[in-house]
């Protein structure tokens, strides 16, 4: 195959040129305007020429390039240009390949909400007789004809390319300000809908630009916005070839590659997850700018799209993973997809869940400036020793983090979340630590304030919010279990005594991220100690007696364990809807020991269970269960302790009831996990 000359006026022409170039077939691409030259891939820049040519100039170009094939990939409405290319091929003695765009116009024209005309002139005549505003998306070349309609400047909004020349010509005609939209398409259904609603358009003037030109999105948007279509039909063509047929002639190997792909693309689809930083223009990295410049569509929440609207790209507004993945699947015509995410893709970002639904080999991640990096720089503070958490749309043991770490950074949600967090920290004994609050970081109304949680608990955040807490007393509390019995609020609730509690917690073998059930929690002494150990996990204290449940809440507040959750009810029924446990302590079973153990092991076959048994009946029930359901690992120990008490000048040892501590699980790796 020799050199191929492509007259490109559509995205299909660009894609064909890039695909042939990748397969090392020499190409020369001729476009009509400098704008068309700019949108061509940078790797083809040296093979592109711009300028409108006469038939004789086309003949000269074909001869100069020594072309063996000529492809007409110009716009279906560029009739005169196609005639010139056809005539030039005849004169040069070269094959003429007319590449056709798909068309849905004939089917759409049958719709009662569509009026079809044969030309812009007919569209103008129709609008002269028909009241109502219109969004004109028929291009700038024949825009002057619409000025014949009385009151056009107030009735019509023109949507054109965003080049200075085009904008200037439109302004000269009287289309300017809110009556002129200068953006590059194709546009998403959502953006089309928004424009129709914003302009109050009752009509959408359009051409049948095909799928690649965003025609289906225009049709859907008009229906959603309650507007009618004013469709200018395509000029009739005498034959032509599809993209696949042209490719089969020029490069069979490339045609074979894309045979099973729904939409012909000259390159593998590329999805970029882009961290845009805090949101201001200056936060976007150079790699991020390049990705947005090359994007066919940008997806993201409203704030992200607002930050990137200067790129003038089609957009889809959503922050929900399933909606984003569905949109990408339904729009394979978008080959370069950018998903804009706040901050950095690796810091409490939606990137991870999005990657789970994609082929990661086809996804590029571009990092951004995270809020913690930016905030600490504004505070002139190093951040390598900052504990990072987030309470924005998720739960976290913030109080536990502040108690253990000198510096803690957290993302904060809106709608009063700041005051709720400050009230919680104050309630759990951390109301006087130093607190920095940052709002609307990087924006002109950025605010950074210093105070304490106690002072901020009546404050409302006024936008995007982050906090940094400094606790000079962090890490000074006892990290081993063994809180004295006297330290707990007790009243009349039963309590697992300190010596037994120490042995039972040791047998549990908790981790920082354990999810623990404390069944029959009593005062909550085991729950509190477990919550202080599993500081990044969760503890569920299950208690059937309401006074005891309230006592557990009071002890949780006293010891600052915000990751301790009280569940009122009788086990096992009260456990059914709780998260899957990794560990369970059973201090009281109310005769339901077997059913409790069955549910625990059903929820997690590898759950580690520790049971305290005092009464002979409970011991008998436990031994019967272990006999019928032998675990992989079993350890039983009886603890008999005596504690001193003072009698005058003497210290006497008083014996405690012996307690059987049974620990068991079916985790084959449990022993190796210890070391």
User: Which residues, 6 or more positions from 76, have their beta carbon under 8 angstroms from its beta carbon?
Assistant: 100, 101, 103, 208, 209, 210, 234, 235, 237
State how beta strands 134-137 and 156-160 pair: parallel
336 in helix, strand or coil?
strand
Domain segments of the chain as ranges: 3-99+243-257, 105-232, 270-369, 373-470, 485-674
Half-sphere exposure of 497 (CA within 13 A, CB side): 15
pLDDT of the residue at 548: 95
Chain segment 451-493, per-residue pLDDT in tens: 999 999 887 776 678 999 999 988 776 777 889 989 999 888 8
pLDDT of the residue at 669: 63
**Per CATH, the architecture of 373-470 is what?**
2-Layer Sandwich (3.30)
Question: What is the C-alpha separation between 549 and 512, in angstroms, rounded?
Answer: 24
User: Which residues, 6 or more positions from 611, have their beta carbon under 8 angstroms from its beta carbon?
Assistant: 585, 586, 589, 593, 622, 660, 661, 662, 663
3-state helix, strand, coil in the chain (%, to 5): 40, 25, 40
Which DSSP category does 233 fall into? P
pLDDT of the residue at 40: 64
Three-state secondary structure along 517-535? EEECCCCCHHHHHHHHHCC
Chain segment 506-543, per-residue pLDDT in tens: 999 999 999 999 999 999 999 999 999 999 999 999 99
User: In the structure encoding, which two tokens stand for residue 336, read together?
Assistant: 């370069």
Half-sphere exposure of 175 (CA within 13 A, CB side): 29
Question: What is the C-alpha separation between 477 and 529, in angstroms, rounded?
Answer: 13
Q: Say if 3-99+243-257 and 105-232 have the same CATH topology.
A: yes
State how beta strands 650-655 and 642-647 pair: antiparallel
pLDDT of the residue at 262: 43
Question: What is the C-alpha separation between 184 and 171, in angstroms, rounded?
Answer: 18
User: Which residues, 6 or more positions from 323, have their beta carbon under 8 angstroms from its beta carbon?
Assistant: none
User: In the structure encoding, which two tokens stand for residue 76, read together?
Assistant: 């279906």
Dihedrals phi, psi of 25, to nearest 5 degrees: -95, 120
Three-state secondary structure along 115-135? EEECCHHHHHHHHHHCCCCEE
| Residues 588/596, Cβ–Cβ less than 8 Å | no
CATH topology of domain 485-674: Rossmann fold (3.40.50)
Q: How many CB atoms lie within 10 A of CB 45?
A: 11
| Domain 270-369 grouped into CATH 3.40.50.1980 | no
Q: Tell which residue, 482, 493, 533, 507, has the closest CA to residue 612.
A: 507
pLDDT of the residue at 105: 64
CATH topology of domain 3-99+243-257: Rossmann fold (3.40.50)
Q: Tell which residue, 386, 353, 355, has the closest CA to residue 371.
A: 386
Half-sphere exposure of 481 (CA within 13 A, CB side): 26
How distant, in Å, are the alpha carbons of 134, 205, 424 from that of 167? Answer: 19, 19, 56
pLDDT along the chain (675 residues), means of 10: 84 82 88 71 70 91 92 88 93 91 70 87 94 92 93 93 88 92 83 92 90 82 92 82 87 70 53 90 88 91 90 90 87 86 90 82 89 94 93 86 93 84 91 94 90 89 84 79 89 87 94 95 95 94 95 92 95 96 94 95 96 91 93 92 86 88 83 48
| Domain 105-232 grouped into CATH 3.40.50 | yes
Taking the whole predicted model, whether its pTM rises above 0.85 is answered as no
């Amino acid at each position: 195959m020799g050199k191929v000359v492509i007259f490109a006026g559509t995205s299909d022409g660009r894609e064909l040129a890039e695909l042939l170039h990748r397969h090392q077939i020499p190409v020369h691409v001729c476009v009509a305007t400098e704008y068309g030259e700019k949108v061509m891939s940078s790797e083809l820049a040296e093979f592109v020429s711009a300028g409108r040519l006469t038939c004789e100039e086309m003949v000269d170009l074909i001869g100069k390039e020594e072309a063996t094939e000529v492809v007409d990939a110009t716009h279906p409405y560029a009739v005169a240009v196609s005639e010139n290319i056809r005539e030039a091929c005849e004169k040069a003695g070269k094959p003429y390949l007319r590449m056709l765009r798909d068309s849905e116009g004939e089917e759409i024209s049958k719709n009662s909400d569509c009026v079809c005309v044969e030309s812009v002139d007919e569209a103008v005549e129709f609008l002269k007789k028909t009241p109502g505003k219109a969004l004109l998306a028929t291009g700038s070349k024949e825009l002057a004809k619409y000025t014949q309609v009385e009151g056009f400047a107030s009735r019509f909004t023109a949507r054109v390319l965003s080049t200075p020349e085009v904008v200037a010509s439109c302004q000269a005609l009287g289309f300017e300000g809110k009556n002129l939209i200068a953006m590059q398409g194709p546009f998403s259904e959502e953006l089309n809908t928004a424009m129709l609603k914003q302009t109050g358009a009752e009509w959408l003037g359009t051409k049948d630009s095909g799928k690649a030109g965003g025609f289906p999105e225009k049709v859907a948007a008009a229906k959603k916005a309650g507007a009618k279509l004013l469709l200018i039909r395509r000029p009739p063509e005498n034959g032509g070839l599809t993209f696949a047929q042209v490719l089969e002639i020029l490069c069979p190997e490339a045609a074979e590659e894309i045979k099973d792909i729904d939409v012909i693309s000259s390159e593998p689809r590329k999805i970029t997850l882009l961290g845009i930083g805090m949101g201001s223009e200056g936060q976007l990295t150079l790699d991020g700018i390049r990705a947005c410049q090359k994007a066919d569509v940008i997806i993201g929440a409203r704030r992200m799209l607002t930050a990137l609207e200067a790129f003038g790209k089609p957009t889809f507004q959503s922050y929900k993973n399933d909606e984003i993945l569905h949109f990408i699947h339904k729009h394979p015509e978008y080959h370069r997809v950018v998903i804009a995410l706040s901050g950095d893709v690796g810091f409490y970002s939606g990137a991870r869940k999005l990657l789970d639904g994609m082929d990661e080999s086809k996804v590029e991640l571009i990092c951004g400036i995270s809020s913690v990096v930016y905030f600490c720089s504004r505070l002139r503070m190093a951040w390598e020793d900052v504990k990072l958490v987030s309470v924005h749309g998720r739960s976290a043991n913030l109080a536990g983090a502040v108690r253990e770490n000198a510096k803690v950074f957290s993302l904060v949600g809106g709608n009063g979340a700041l005051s709720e967090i400050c009230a919680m920290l104050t309630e759990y004994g951390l109301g006087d630590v130093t607190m920095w609050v940052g709002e609307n970081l990087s924006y002109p109304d950025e605010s950074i304030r210093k105070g304490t949680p106690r002072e901020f608990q009546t404050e409302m955040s006024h936008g995007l919010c982050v906090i940094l807490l400094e606790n000079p007393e962090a890490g000074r509390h006892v990290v081993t279990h063994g809180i004295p019995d006297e330290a707990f609020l007790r009243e009349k609730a039963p309590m697992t005594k300190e010596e037994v509690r120490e042995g039972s917690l040791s047998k549990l073998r908790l981790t920082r991220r354990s999810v623990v059930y404390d069944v029959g929690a009593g005062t909550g002494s085991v729950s509190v100690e477990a919550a202080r150990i599993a500081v990044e996990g969760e503890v569920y204290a299950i208690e059937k007696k309401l006074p005891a449940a309230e006592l557990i809440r009071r002890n949780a507040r006293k010891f600052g364990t915000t990751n301790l959750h009280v569940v009122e009810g009788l086990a096992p029924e009260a456990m059914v809807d709780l998260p899957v446990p990794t560990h369970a302590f059973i201090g009281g079973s109310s005769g339901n020991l077997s059913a409790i153990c069955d549910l625990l092991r059903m929820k997690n076959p590898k759950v580690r269970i520790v049971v305290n048994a005092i009464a002979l009946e409970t011991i008998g029930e436990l031994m019967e269960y272990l006999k019928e359901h032998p675990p992989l690992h079993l350890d039983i120990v009886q603890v008999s302790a005596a504690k001193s008490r003072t009698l005058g000048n003497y210290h006497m040892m008083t014996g405690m009831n012996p307690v059987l501590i049974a620990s068991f699980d079916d985790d084959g790796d449990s022993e190796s996990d210890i070391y």
